[in-house]
Amino acid sequence: MHQGHLPFKQTNQAVTDQELIERTKWHYATMNARRSIRDISDKPIPYEVIENLVLAASSAPSGAHKQPWTFCVVQNPELKQKIREAAEKEEYENYHGRMTNEWIKDLAIFGTDWHKEFITKAPYLLVVFKKSYDLFADGSITKNYYVNESVGIACGFLLQAIHQAGLVSLTHTPSPMNFLAEILNRPKNEKAFLLIPVGYAAENATVPDIERKPLSEVLVKY
């Protein structure tokens, strides 16, 4: 055993091959029902729920275990309004010149535009920041590794945890996103990665009629 290591104990190991198959079938069926939702209710959620979701996200693997992420939880209505106004300003520019015609055409089925009501409607916003390096009070820094990959995996954990809790979310990436660091007064080593509203689905929520690629298009066996 390596110095500083502990024995690994699997807490949920399947007993039989069939049990393993059934578990993975169930998990696929559960996750296949997950959808990005723009119609989010303003129904309150206990703050402890958000803390638990962030803890689940923070259990993700990361390069050299640096955990190069910060999750900012925004509940304050004034801050949410500022974020919405800044996001809509950038999105207006995107829909009126920045995005190509092909991009806009690909988005047509989703019925999206530059209006982002979900930012102020959702009870919570989770703003995920990535840290290319850690910055300490004395001005010293330490490098982080595989930052995009690590933060991307943590966000995947977060989306899954939100879905498993019976809540909905949306991955929003208003580009550029520098305004998020400014509004939330984040340190210079943090850069916005994702904006994720979290809440219950609104009673009138709808989703686009789309299908995921079949296994034959995403899996190659050797």
The Cα 73–Cα 85 span in angstroms is 18
In a domain, 187, yes or no: yes
pLDDT for 14 beyond 80: no
In a domain, 220, yes or no: no
135 phi, psi to nearest 5 deg: -115, 125
Domain count, the chain: 1
Using the Cα atoms of residue 177, residue 179, residue 184 and residue 185 in order, give the sign of their dihedral.
Answer: positive
Strand ranges across the sheet with 190-199: 69-74, 124-131, 190-199, 168-169
| Closest CA relative to residue 118, chosen from 161, 166, 76, 81 | 81
Q: Residue 179: its pLDDT value, please?
A: 96
| Residue 90, domain extent | 37-203
In a domain, 76, yes or no: yes
In a domain, 17, yes or no: no
In percent, how much of the chain has pLDDT > 70? 100
In a domain, 14, yes or no: no
Condensed to tens digits (0 to 9), the pLDDT of residues 156-215 reads: 999 999 999 999 999 999 888 999 999 999 999 999 999 999 999 999 999 999 999 999
Contact 208, 37 (CB under 8 A): no
Res. 93 pLDDT band, cuts 50 70 90: very high
Instruction: Name the helix (H) or strand (E) containing 141.
Output: strand 141-143
- C-alpha distances in angstroms, 160 versus 93, 175, 200, 212? 31, 24, 15, 17
Rounded to an integer, the average pLDDT of 135-149 is 94
In a domain, 7, yes or no: no
SS3 at position 202: coil
In a domain, 74, yes or no: yes
In a domain, 221, yes or no: no
Domain CATH number, residue 81: 3.40.109.10
Rounded to an integer, the average pLDDT of 59-73 is 98
Q: pTM of the entire structure?
A: 0.94
Q: Residue 57: its pLDDT value, please?
A: 98
DSSP summary character for residue 36: B
The overall average pLDDT reported for the chain is 94
Residue 79 token pair: 């801050």
pLDDT for 1 beyond 70: no
pLDDT for 71 beyond 80: yes
Contact 99, 197 (CB under 8 A): no
